[in-house]
Structure 1
């Protein structure tokens, strides 16, 4: 089972709006309440004072060892949501796979001459998609939980140019995001963004994304890049709202943890898309 991280290849350069580039340092924390944002380097009310903190206040800070269990839980639950999304929603984006499944259903009728068996064929195909989606995504999770998500400090906190943040709401970790610097092309990759499903719809993901952009600007990276296999359009709209532009992708992507067997390729297909936000020209 191959567990390496997916490679990012970005081609198109898009210049970001200046108002999206907010200065911040790796050690800064961010307090967000309603529509206002502060960094810890500017005057702001103390977020630890109970008479100040409101229920809608989201506090962005660096990862700490005590966050490990909650971080892994949020990551795990977010990835597990991909199983039904990939198996059922994903097929709506795969016209060739739809055609192939229709052809297989017709072949079932030609061979069996049984209307009942033919009617069962689509359900069997969908069950097979769910089985292989579950198998592949569990393998992917095993890879991630044995590599960077097993030792966040080693992968993200110790290396220069990388970092890992958590979003805290009412004292509870509700979201995560990472930035991993790449010296070869002077870019930083936005990784591992996920928000607890119970706290979605509050703009937490956007605040986490902006934290990565601030980090990239402060550390003089030329661009922020990311790769995603998300099926839901909401994720893609989020990236675009942050200023990212799609630069390419693959319809036949090999997710880390895939074996590449014929049956796996028949019942599991995933679309991989690359995004880039150019911060400055080089």
Structure 2
């Protein structure tokens, strides 16, 4: 395993940062999509419509075709949602990274470098809606190239954000992740984060809502 180290973002990292973020989210589409199929609304439509069709028409072929069409539609709907999320990020904070994270006070973006290549990223900025009575930093854009996962880079990147927050007088760090991203949840919890609440992104009437878990790390509880 080649050695890696964490450093502050530089302008020549712009393309690599955007690529790692985009490919990381797209690579997670299968693992994030499958849990949606287990939700009552998705499974009812995916299985219920073919059953009704086979009972009503007696055509197994029509039933199988409807299953395939609904499944494909649900998958494409979810993928479109992810692509829209990626595009929004690429056209906002990841368009001018210097302005978004390095010029703003209390913000930063770091990269993990290995063999002169950027293989991981993480960003942080003051939370837009800080907790009452507290000053929190928000962790964003955490992603590691697939071939470099399992080497502890994500942990080191999160620890970098935690140390930055502590050094700059924040009361803690907040972040959000999908409820199906169990490896990320285990990582955050092992570093002192706890689930604070849950929110939902509604896709459409025939696809279940995507559950987002919000995590919070309070420095006061660790002292």
TM-score (norm 1): 0.71
For residue 107 of structure 1, report the CA deviation from its aligned partner.
2.1
Deviation at 1:83, TM superposition (A): 2.7
Aligned: 1:274 with 2:214:
yes
1:207 and 2:156 correspond: yes
**Gaps spanning 5+ residues in structure 1: where?**
1-54, 255-259
What are the equivalent positions in structure 2 for 1:43-122 lying under 5 Å apart?
Answer: 55-92=1-38, 94-122=39-67
Q: Which moved more, 1:69-78 or 1:108-117?
A: 108-117
1:161 to 75, 96, 106: 106
The residue aligned with 1:194 is 143
Helix, strand or coil for the counterpart of 2:105? Answer: coil
Deviation of residue 134 (structure 1)?
Answer: 2.0
| Alpha-carbon distance between aligned partners in 2 of 1:215 and 1:133, rounded to the nearest angstrom | 34
Contact 1:224/1:278 (<8 A) preserved: yes
Note the residue ranges of structure 2 that are not aligned, 5 or more in a row. none
1:220 deviates by 1.1
Q: Does 1:172 align with 2:117?
A: yes
Contact kept in structure 1, 2:41 and 2:208, CA below 8 Å? no
Q: Tell whether the 8 Å contact from 2:36 to 2:208 is kept in structure 1 after alignment.
A: no
User: What do you get for the CA RMSD once the two structures are aligned?
Assistant: 1.9
What's the offset of the Cα at 1:268? Answer: 5.6
Q: Which residue of 2 aligns with 1:253?
A: 201
User: Deviation of residue 98 (structure 1)?
Assistant: 1.8
Q: Deviations over 1:220-262 (max 9, x none)?
A: 1111100112633111111111111111112x325xxxxx6xx
- Residue correspondences, number: 217
Q: Distance in 2 between matches of 1:271 and 1:59?
A: 33
Which of 110, 133, 141 is the matching residue for 2:86? 141
Instruction: Provide runs of 4+ in structure 1 moved above 3 Å.
Output: none
Which of the two has greater helix per residue? 2
- 3-state DSSP class of the match of 2:201? coil
Q: Give distance in 2, aligned partners of 1:188 and 1:218.
A: 12
Deviations 1:136-168 (A, max 9, x none): 211111111100011111111111111100001
Whether contact under 8 Å (1:244, 1:277) holds in the other structure is: yes
